[in-house]
Chains A and B, each alone.
Chain A
Amino acid sequence: MKRFALAGNPNCGKTTLFNSLTGSTAHVGNWPGVTVDKRDGVYKKTPEPVAIVDLPGIYSLSPYTPEEVIARNYILDEKPDCVINIVDATNLERNLYLTTQILEIDVPMVIALNMMDEVEKAGDKIDAELLSSRLGVPVVKISALKENGLKDLMETAYAASLKERVGTTVLEESSLAHLIGDVRIALKGQGVKGPLFHAIKLVENDSIEVEMHKETIPMIDEFKATHEDDVFGDDFEALVADARYKYISEYFAPALSKKKQEKFSMSRSDKADKVLTHKVWGIPIFLVILFAIFHLTFSEDFLYLGAIFKLPTLEDLGLLTEDADPLHYGVRLLACIYDGAVFSPGVIINNIWNNMLVGELFGRLGGLVEGSSMAPWAVGLINNGIFDGISSVLSFLPPILVLFLFFSILEDSGYMARIAFILDRMFRRFGLSGRAFMPMIMGFGCSVPAMINTRTLADDKERTATVRVIPFFSCGAKLPILTAVAGAIVAYFGVGNADVITFLMYLLGIVTAVVTVLLMRNTTLKGETPPFIMELPAYHAPQFKNLMAHLWDKTKHFVKKAFTIILASTIVIWFLTHFSFNWHFLEDEAINESILAGVSQLVQPIFTPLGFGSQLGQFGWVFVVAAVAGLIAKENVIATFATLASCLVAMANLNIGGLDIAAEEGIDAVQAMILATGISVPALIAFIAFNMTTIPCFAAVGTAKAELGDKKRFNGTLIFWITSSYAVAAMIYTIGSWWWTAFIWAAVAAAATALVVLKNKRAAKTVKAV
């Protein structure tokens, strides 16, 4: 099968084109650096099916970051049958810089002028025929987003792939032509394939080429010694870049004819940026947007209308009474939207999903099982083990999707890239560049792709620090822990407000990330912060198709997980809580004699400083089990709560039989745990904090191992996660329980800071002396 590679600058629309051609749903974002690895798909409308390979965006074939190496290596080593070079037509000159380099490789090539709809909208014109004749390769106008010109592009690319193509260069007319020619002849004599590209890169002093042709370097240096330039001296990289840009502006730029403008006018993006990236207001605006997202997702009092106008509850209105018909769907639907306050959109969707769909479905299934002739233990396994576990996890699908939708809107609109820009100044103080923000914000969705996205960071130490703190940006799987425990705190203790607690916990994760990065960059991962240069994409309205693709993908992943790993874990946990060490079956009331209880009670004291250890008495181990189960997948925490709470509810002596474990998105399960153990509010918050900052799920751990590469660094990462989560949770529990311990923690922090500062000063002095 023929292989066509999609290559181009970051954020020029490669993945959008890839999705349109192959029908894939690969992640598309309106910021540079979304794609960090190559991916394959198949296009079937050419005479024979063609494999399409989407490559990470590159500005040049001299790579600076790991994902740029992937793109370069693919074009050079894998020799695709055709390279489709996607050029952002709204940024023609800059994009053609990469084109001039791909032209130098002996590979068939077609230029796709993307975003032509935007160019035409602005009243500009591009003469594709002129451009094609000057470049010597076919040029096709397309709009990947609107799927215009794609058939023409693929037909042209297919035709091009049938012919051989020898590399050409725009440097033929530059002062470097002789030098390049000499090196090319030398390489050709050595039998190097495609000598033109390698010759130019060697002249540029490209580090990869220098490494590959070590023996030729002295000869090239001799050739270079004969070349003089008054402006750039012996900076050959700059010389080559300058020659390329001169050629582009002289020969290619005239293909673009811009609509005459009377005077300089700001685009809508520029106007929005004046406010959104304001040096003072930029960060507060971001925090307000973030809070609004949490309010729209979690608040049970939309815009606080209920609190302001003292709205009546459904009970006050006589609609919801004890003897109301439970099957009256009208009232039930109304109760999903309003009860003393109008609920936020996220809560409304959540209520409908849980009260009218998941709750109803699992309630009926449970009833069927109860009514069957199965033995009581089998009924318990299905209803309390499997159904409670899975339904409690599935009940969190709406808030995760709503939250993810808002983040996708921010990403697709181009605002996320701005946040990286406005946070750069702040991040720099902590030792990271604003670029590190993009993988971090991806961490709110899932740590796995976020860790992979750190490939866009050029500095190894910065990359390690970022990989380590990504799990602190609470992912979708941690959301159920947050909302269930926060909801139980509000419901049981009457403390606070669920959306505020959730928002504050997310902020806690961010603050922990910032503090630990600061610590790492001043101790074990010391190093200079690399400069941050990022192209800000123009704002555009989020694409409905993209948003739905993101949501569908998240749903698929979540449901798949619920019916595989979560289902398997709930079964294992149910068996371990219903069998003793001598393999006797135990009733729900006797789970304290189970294998799980026995093992957990052994490690329970370790968690005492965090508030959910020995002080919780005989049932305290349930929190330990939940936290440990979360290491497999964080959704397991809430599934474990549900399975264990079902047993606790069955115990007559605990007197908590009125709770409905499957209902209220795990809140009742947590309330059952509170009643059984007597855990305090600070300990519950410490439990959330521990789960948010400790070792993430197996998948994220595996990704961190693969991305960090170095075994020592990976082991350090594991130790880092354990110690930071322990310290954060212990701090929250002790300060929350005994306020004066804040002074002890402050003293420890001050001493640690002083120690680091002194050590660094001494090290700096030693370096100076040397």
Chain B
Amino acid sequence: MTPILETRSLTKAFGGLVAVNDVSIQVEEGSTHAVIGPNGAGKTTLFNLLCGNFKPTSGRVFYRGQDITNVPLHQRAHLGIGRSFQIINLFPNLTVLENVRLAAQALGHDNFRIFRRASTIVSYVARAAEALEIVGLQGQASVPASVLPHGGKRKLELAILLAADPKLLLLDEPTAGMASEQVPELMQIIERVRSLGGRTIVIVEHNMNVVMNACDRITVMNLGQVLAEGTPAEIGANKQVQDVYLGELYDLPGAHA
């Protein structure tokens, strides 16, 4: 079976700095795949290459076997690829509902109807309400996005993704900046999305604990290259990974043995 997302020898250099070096990974359809690594490992650069923000120096990106390396940003959403942002990236002065409704509208065929009230096209509003329900923001639908607390913005970020019903979700550090006690709640939402089925999720994450229980496969990056790949159990047991990453961060017993 063709993987839903594949990179072949992906390389990105900023001048002399090679941030991502010859990375080839394959993401199976329906799986939840995490990319982890210490600071400066090239995770975010890899993410930007996957979602099309950066053009690679060399190498290609494939989606269901189709070369999407040069597909413009706005067309990727139409292919079924949704992405979240590490930095909060919303429409701050629009309401929570409108933020999500826009994402539902984007993939429909009503975008250039200029004599119809947007709020009367019920299907988009319903889809948006459904997405808000999944992330638990239904009570705040009519407030401006800017007044939500940080955790709420993170959830809204997810709801915007879900409203477009993407087949592939690219999540860039979904828990970035959240207080540690809020992280489990967000992971539960991701878990819920996963259990709804039919979606492939790629999570780029710094926080090891977040992904250990929530994914099927993990790719570990270090210094721009893939260090190891495997199931969470295999990665947890991998000596090399412990050395560069787990040991350094968490000082696991046995890491220095």
A binds B: no
